[in-house]
Amino acid sequence: MDPVRLQTSLLDQIALVVSAFGLKPGYMLICLGLIILLGLRFASLGPELKLLLAALVGFELGELFCAANYILAGGKSDVLEFGHHAGMIAFGALLPWAVFDLLDRRVLRFSDPEATCAAQRFCKRCWKRDEVACGLQRLMLLAAPALALMALMPLAASLLSYELILPVFGSDVYYQLSPDEQWALYRLYPFLAAGLLLITFGLLLRGQRGLGPARWTFFWGIGFMAFSLLRFFLVSAYQSMPIWADAWEELTEMIAIVSVVLLLWVFRRPLGLSAPGPQPEEA
């Protein structure tokens, strides 16, 4: 079946140009700069910053696959698009994991058995000193299955593939949502997310022994869920003009990368990313 040709307004065309030639290369260059900055300091980075670096590498590789799909394959390659998916899922898993690890090690002190947890004023008694269950862990016993249910939202979506031609300032731009991509977004990823989050629930039932493995399953479940839900909401909202689904996705990605820049800049000294100050001269 031939692609359907849609009419685009001037605003639609401007949105595509700004997102494709402004936002995307902009945040890719910023992300590359962050990767270089952290990579040069890799040996001195803490575990949380190494996780953050891995998240940025995943993001950059995913966006390179996305760009290659449109530049080399005209937007018609499912293989390259699935490479894009992999990078976004890794970013969605590793970025919140890195932020949690950063807060845990430096603020919450939840995992350190020797430190006082920030939530102890609410719990009163702590598993680190008494034979009691951890309050935060008990909260996660509700959060994990609740998130697993939320991850299943896209299962109700119909699998409606499309191929579109959109005129943009005299050029035809090809858009497609293939059956394979829809099946992955609306069926495979929700089940993977829900499965990982339910495994998290099972691990948390083991008490403190399950906390380490539960981080892996929880954050990778969040990665699959976040990407699936983002695409589900954007594609559903802008079915009649997918330019806007892409534009809002590019904008959210720019916000995410700028937020990482702001985080690293504001806390550059405690994170060990600022240049050392001048040493006082000896008398």
Q: What pLDDT does residue 63 have?
A: 97
153 touches 232 (CB < 8 A): yes
Residue 125 lies in a domain: no
What tens digit of pLDDT does each residue of 154-210 get? 998 888 888 899 999 988 899 888 999 999 999 999 999 999 999 999 998 887 777
Residue 124 lies in a domain: no
Q: What Å distances lie between residue 164 and 44, 83, 113, CA to CA?
A: 49, 22, 56
Statement: residue 278 has pLDDT above 70: no
Sequence letter at residue 73: A
Q: How many angstroms separate the CA atoms of 106 and 31, rounded?
A: 25
159 touches 179 (CB < 8 A): yes
Two tokens, residue 234 = 């954007």
Q: What pLDDT does residue 283 have?
A: 44
229 touches 151 (CB < 8 A): yes
Residue 280 lies in a domain: no
Q: What Å distances lie between residue 191 and 57, 86, 176, 213, 215, CA to CA?
A: 26, 16, 24, 19, 18
Q: How many angstroms separate the CA atoms of 142 and 29, rounded?
A: 40
SS3 assignment, position 168: strand
Q: How many domains does the chain have?
A: 1
What tens digit of pLDDT does each residue of 27-70 get? 999 999 999 999 999 999 999 999 999 999 999 999 999 999 98
Residue 49 lies in a domain: yes
Q: What Å distances lie between residue 261 and 23, 47, 58, 226, 265, CA to CA?
A: 15, 18, 16, 21, 6
Residue 41 lies in a domain: yes
Q: What pLDDT does residue 240 have?
A: 86
User: CB under 8 Å to 67, separation ≥6 — which residues?
Assistant: 24, 28
Q: How many angstroms separate the CA atoms of 94 and 53, rounded?
A: 9
What tens digit of pLDDT does each residue of 201-240 get? 999 888 777 778 889 999 999 999 999 999 999 999 998 8
Host domain of residue 141: 4-109+130-266
Residue 122 lies in a domain: no
197 touches 147 (CB < 8 A): yes
Residue 150 lies in a domain: yes
Round the average pLDDT of the chain to a whole number and report it.
89
Residue 121 lies in a domain: no
